[in-house]
């Protein structure tokens, strides 16, 4: 410590000497700047001001460079002094404790304080996290209780709905199935409205074409072909045949006929595109319907009560579109092998399976009918 005190005193004396030198240099620069500001009395005032400003700018730049170099040197000396101080502290601690490896494990006082503050902050954060975990656990219990209440309420609503609709006592009506059916019917209703609008537009077009034909007959223009927007495939083939195209004269009437033919073909293409769009929309709706039914079947398949339940005859309600498929099913046998439950195709009789293969022919349609019949069989069981 005495050696460190001596070095600090020497550094203090050096800094004082440097401060005195800088002060003297500053006084000299002030005198020099004052002389420059006063200027040479022999020069006119404008030139004197120009010379003074240029000299001041030059001197300021030089002084800035010198100060930058001095700052770099002082920073370097400060880093060296800090390293020496750290090494000196480690040496003194090692000599005091008599351990050569204590330098790697020893913490200064300020670092110990920082570690204590960090530990206190970590403890507070841990307490906050524990409180938040307790609060979340309580919320989870509340949510579970609410879920149980809502599930019981849904069951009661299903029972009340079944009682209101006059359904069977052993088969409860599912609200989700009704919502799904309502959504499907709503989409179908919108599609039917679009098709009705398309048919109305076609009817209006046919009416205008018929009126044009009647007006052309009344006006006596029998030589003109009077093409309208309604053309059959045979008429188009006759008009565009090679022999008739070669002998077609280049008259305004033929040009107008060709224009009307092109317009009619464009309208026909537009109608076909609309029909294709409606068909795609229908296929999308049916695909969503099949996906929802398959999802419903997946939720019903792992139920253990299906295997262990006894057979009770179920009579489907009126206007049920699954009655023909349900009537083709064999009666339920509780002592059947598990393979009959695992394979939906096994529920059909061989005659029905061959009938489906012969009449349907489409694997996707056959699979859809099989899944629908399997759903009816599950509900019946």
Higher pLDDT, 298 or 203: 203
* Integer Cα distance of 292 and 31 in angstroms: 96
Residue 131: pLDDT over 80: yes
Kindly state the tokens that stand for 25: 């240099």
Helices then strands (H, E): number in the chain? 13, 0
Note the pLDDT of residue 191. Answer: 84
Q: Which of 79, 107, 113 is nearest to 93 (CA)?
A: 107
Report, as an integer, the average pLDDT of 9-37. Answer: 85
Residue 219: CB atoms within 10 Å:
10
**Of the given ranges (179-188, 318-327, 358-367), which has the lowest mean pLDDT?**
318-327
Q: 215 pLDDT exceeds 90?
A: no
Write the DSSP symbol of residue 224. S
**How far apart are alpha carbons 59 and 196 in whole angstroms?**
93
Q: Which residues contact 97 (CB under 8 A, 6 or more apart)?
A: 106
Rg of the Cα trace of the chain?
50
Q: In terms of pLDDT, which residue wins out, 292 or 121?
A: 121
What is d(CA 282, CA 184) in angstroms, rounded to the nearest whole number? 11
Q: Can you tell me the distance from the alpha carbon of 88 to that of 225, in angstroms, rounded to the nearest whole number?
A: 115
- Indicate whether 335 pLDDT > 50: no
Q: Where are the domains of the chain?
A: 2-105, 109-173, 176-300, 306-381
Average pLDDT of the segment spanning 159-187: 75
| This model's pTM is above 0.75 | no
Can you tell me the distance from the alpha carbon of 141 to that of 139, in angstroms, rounded to the nearest whole number?
Answer: 5
DSSP per-residue string spanning 187-203? HHHHHHHHHHHHHHHHH
């Amino acid at each position: 410590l005495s050696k460190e005190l001596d070095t600090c005193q020497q550094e203090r004396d050096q800094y004082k000497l440097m401060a005195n030198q800088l002060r003297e240099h500053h006084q000299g620069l002030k005198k020099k700047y004052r002389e420059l500001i006063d200027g040479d009395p022999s020069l006119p005032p404008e030139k004197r001001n120009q010379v003074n400003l240029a000299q001041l700018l030059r001197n300021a730049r030089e002084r800035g460079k010198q100060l930058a170099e001095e700052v770099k040197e002082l920073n370097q000396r400060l880093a060296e002094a800090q390293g020496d101080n750290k090494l000196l502290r480690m040496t003194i601690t090692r000599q005091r404790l008599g351990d050569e490896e204590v330098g790697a494990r020893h913490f200064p006082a300020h670092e110990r304080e920082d570690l204590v503050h960090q530990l206190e902050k970590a403890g507070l954060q841990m307490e906050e996290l524990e409180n938040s975990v307790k609060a979340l656990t309580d919320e989870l219990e509340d949510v579970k209780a609410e879920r149980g209440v809502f599930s019981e309420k849904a069951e009661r609503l299903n029972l009340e709905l079944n009682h209101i609709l006059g359904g069977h006592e052993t088969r409860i009506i599912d609200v989700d199935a009704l919502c799904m059916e309502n959504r499907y019917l709503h989409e179908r209703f919108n599609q039917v409205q679009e098709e009705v609008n398309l048919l109305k537009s076609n009817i209006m077009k046919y009416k205008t074409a018929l009126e044009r034909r009647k007006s052309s007959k009344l006006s006596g223009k029998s030589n003109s072909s009077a093409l309208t927007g309604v053309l059959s495939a045979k008429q188009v083939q006759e008009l565009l045949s090679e022999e008739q195209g070669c002998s077609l004269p280049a008259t305004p009437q033929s040009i107008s006929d060709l224009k009307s033919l092109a317009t009619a073909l464009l309208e026909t293409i537009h109608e076909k595109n609309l029909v294709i769009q409606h068909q795609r929309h229908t296929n999308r709706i049916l695909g969503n319907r099949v996906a929802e039914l398959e999802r419903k079947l997946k939720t019903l398949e792992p139920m253990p009560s299906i295997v262990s339940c006894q057979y009770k005859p179920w009579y489907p309600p009126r206007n049920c579109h699954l009655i023909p498929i349900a009537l083709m099913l064999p009666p339920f046998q509780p002592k059947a092998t598990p393979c009959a439950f695992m394979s939906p195709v096994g529920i059909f009789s061989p005659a029905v399976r061959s009938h489906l293969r012969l009449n349907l022919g489409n694997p996707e349609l056959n699979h859809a009918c099989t899944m629908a019949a399997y759903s009816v069989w599950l509900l019946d069981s």
